[in-house]
């Protein structure tokens, strides 16, 4: 038995996937935009339980695209404006200092909040908008401690140097500008990027009491989403368009929030509220709330979320990224089938009446190989976060082999 325990403690596992995806676009703003884009990804993860109290994990990802716009270096901090060909997704060590208290250090991904689709506790965390409809998070370098004592839990995170949102602005497809100069379309170009020199810290407290789960959190430090400052004074002619550089800076922000969820029969009801404060004139304060509901119907699950900001913003919310879609209603239906799964996602912006419909079906050809077909269809007013990107209407197909 001792031998078995030791072997178990040293258990090492490898996993990962190789994936090829293709996107076919229905429209394009400029002749330079491709109709079809290919994207190939390989990712590997190693996990090791060094001892019963010590675990480590590392994940490396490599990508190539048909547009060839990936730099060939390993961006350890993920602070480059462009996604690089090789990136370190995770590299952490976790030490259980007590049976229910862990300390983790390294590079990791966070997932906070209770409501689905949009959570004020989670929305500030850095995203990689290279594919703006993928909702992909960026990992962080930091230290984290989590623990539990009875019905109470805590989760503290310190990120000494912040990883900013990756916001590609140089593509008219991803960041369209509804203006023309001398009959030429206007596109944004990357300007100065005043990267954050410090980071942020956060503490989240959670408790469970019967059917209720409650939580409270606070954070302070540099907000990872950039504030963009267009520089028309530095505009220049870039082939078939007028390019306007957009500088980036990062503001301080303090925030406090509450979370609540309750099991009510077959439903799980969730709610969150957060107050965000910033003295930066380009950001201002916010009062964000969400309501959510989830219910399973047979092999399907329905998720509903309503999210809004009760305060006005000093600039178009579209330029604030983490609150760009507010107010919004989100509905998700996902279902598992014997052949695979499918899901439909509808996001309706309530300010401009624009929205996004996503559909996806995945067929499991084998346990390791999945083939996927899907479509992303933004629609509505060009002043909204979804309607502003009509050139992103696309069909997609992919094949993923996992190991």
Partner 1 sequence: MSRRPVATPILLVLLLPAALSLPARADEARSLLVQSEERHRTKSQEYEGDLAVTSKDGKERRKSWRSYRLGYAGDSKLLIRFTAPPEVKGVGFLSLPRPGKNPDQWLYLPSMKRERRIAAQDRSASFVGTDFNYEDMEELDHEKYDVKLLADATEAGQPCWVIEARPRSDAGKSLYERKILFLRKDILYLVRMDLFRPGEKQPGKRLLLEDVVLVDAHHVARRMTMQDLDRGSTTVIRLEKLAFDRPQPEGRHTLQNLVREAGD
Least separation, in Å, of the C-beta of 369 and partner 1? 10
Q: Is residue 111 at the binding interface for partner 1, with CB under 8 A as the rule?
A: yes
Q: CA nearest 20: which of 403, 402, 397?
A: 397
Q: What single string gives the DSSP state of each residue in 46-102? A: EEEEEETTEEEEEEEEEEEETT----SSB-TT--SSS--SEEEEEEEEEEEEETTEE
Measured in degrees and rounded to the nearest 5, phi and psi for residue 295 equal -150, 140
The one-character DSSP state at 161 is S
Closer Cβ to partner 1, 32 or 137, answer by number: 137
Rounded Cα–Cα distance for residues 163 and 166 (Å): 9
* Contact (Cβ atoms closer than 8 angstroms) between residue 96 and residue 109: no
Binding test (CB under 8 A) with partner 1, winner from 99, 179, 240, 310 = 99
Q: Is residue 51 at the binding interface for partner 1, with CB under 8 A as the rule?
A: no
Binding test (CB under 8 A) with partner 1, winner from 192, 281, 299, 316 = 299
Radius of gyration of the chain (CA): 22
Q: Is residue 103 at the binding interface for partner 1, with CB under 8 A as the rule?
A: no
Give 49's contacts (C-beta < 8 A, 6+ positions apart). Answer: 8, 9, 10, 11, 12, 55
Number of residues that bind partner 1 (CB under 8 A): 52
Region near partner 1 per CB under 8 A, out of 14-22, 80-88, 214-222, 345-353: 14-22
Rounded Cα–Cα distance for residues 248 and 266 (Å): 46
Tokens standing for 9? 């403690």
Residue bearing tokens 């009959």 = 183
Closer Cβ to partner 1, 98 or 237, answer by number: 98
Q: Is residue 220 at the binding interface for partner 1, with CB under 8 A as the rule?
A: no
Region near partner 1 per CB under 8 A, out of 240-248, 351-359, 365-373, 378-386: 365-373
Q: Is residue 210 at the binding interface for partner 1, with CB under 8 A as the rule?
A: yes
Cis check: omega of the bond before 327, within 30 degrees of 0: yes
Least separation, in Å, of the C-beta of 93 and partner 1? 10
Residues 148-207 that bind partner 1 (CB under 8 A): 148, 153
Give 265's contacts (C-beta < 8 A, 6+ positions apart). Answer: none
Closer Cβ to partner 1, 55 or 351, answer by number: 55
Binding test (CB under 8 A) with partner 1, winner from 74, 134, 310, 368 = 368
Closer Cβ to partner 1, 13 or 279, answer by number: 13
Closer Cβ to partner 1, 74 or 296, answer by number: 296
Q: What 3-state class would DSSP assign to 3?
A: helix
Binding test (CB under 8 A) with partner 1, winner from 15, 51, 66, 198 = 15
List contacts with partner 1 (CB under 8 A): 13, 15-17, 47-49, 52, 55-57, 94, 96, 98-102, 109-113, 146-148, 153, 208, 210, 213, 261, 263-268, 294-299, 336-338, 364, 367-368, 370, 402-403
């Amino acid at each position: 038995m001792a031998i078995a325990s030791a072997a178990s403690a040293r258990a090492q596992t490898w996993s990962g996937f190789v994936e090829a995806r293709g996107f076919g676009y229905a429209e394009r703003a400029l002749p330079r935009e491709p109709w079809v884009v290919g994207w190939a990804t390989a990712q590997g993860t190693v996990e090791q339980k060094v001892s019963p109290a010590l675990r480590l994990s590392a994940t490396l990802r490599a990508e190539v695209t048909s547009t060839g716009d990936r730099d060939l270096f390993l961006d350890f901090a993920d602070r480059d404006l462009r996604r690089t060909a090789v990136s370190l997704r995770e590299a952490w060590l976790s030490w259980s200092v007590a049976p229910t208290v862990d300390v983790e250090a390294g590079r990791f991904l966070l997932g906070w909040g209770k409501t689905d689709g949009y959570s004020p506790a989670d929305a500030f965390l850095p995203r990689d908008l290279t594919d703006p409809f993928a909702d992909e998070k960026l990992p962080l370098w930091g230290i984290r401690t989590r623990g539990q004592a009875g019905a109470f839990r805590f989760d503290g995170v310190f990120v000494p140097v912040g990883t900013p949102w990756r916001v590609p602005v140089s593509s008219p497809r991803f960041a369209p500008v509804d203006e023309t100069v001398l009959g030429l379309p206007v596109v944004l170009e990357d300007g100065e990027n005043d990267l954050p020199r410090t980071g942020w810290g956060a503490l989240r407290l959670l408790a469970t009491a019967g059917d209720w789960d409650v939580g409270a959190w606070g954070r302070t430090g540099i907000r990872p989403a950039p504030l963009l400052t267009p520089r028309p004074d530095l505009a220049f002619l870039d082939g078939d368009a007028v390019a306007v550089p957009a500088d980036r800076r990062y503001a301080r922000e303090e925030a406090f929030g509450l979370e609540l969820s309750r099991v009510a029969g077959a439903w799980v009801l969730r709610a969150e509220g957060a107050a965000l404060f910033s003295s930066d004139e380009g950001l201002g304060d916010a009062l964000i709330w969400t309501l959510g509901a989830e219910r399973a119907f047979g092999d399907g699950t329905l998720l509903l979320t309503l999210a809004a900001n009760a305060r006005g913003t000093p600039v178009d919310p579209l330029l604030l990224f983490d609150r760009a879609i507010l107010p919004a209603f989100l509905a998700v239906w996902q279902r598992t089938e014997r052949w695979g799964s499918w899901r439909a996602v509808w996001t309706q912006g309530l300010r401009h009446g624009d929205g996004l419909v996503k559909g996806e079906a995945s067929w499991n050809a084998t346990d390791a190989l999945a083939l996927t077909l899907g479509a992303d269809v933004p629609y509505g007013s060009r002043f909204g976060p979804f309607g502003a990107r009509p050139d992103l209407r696309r069909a997609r197909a992919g094949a993923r082999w996992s190991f």
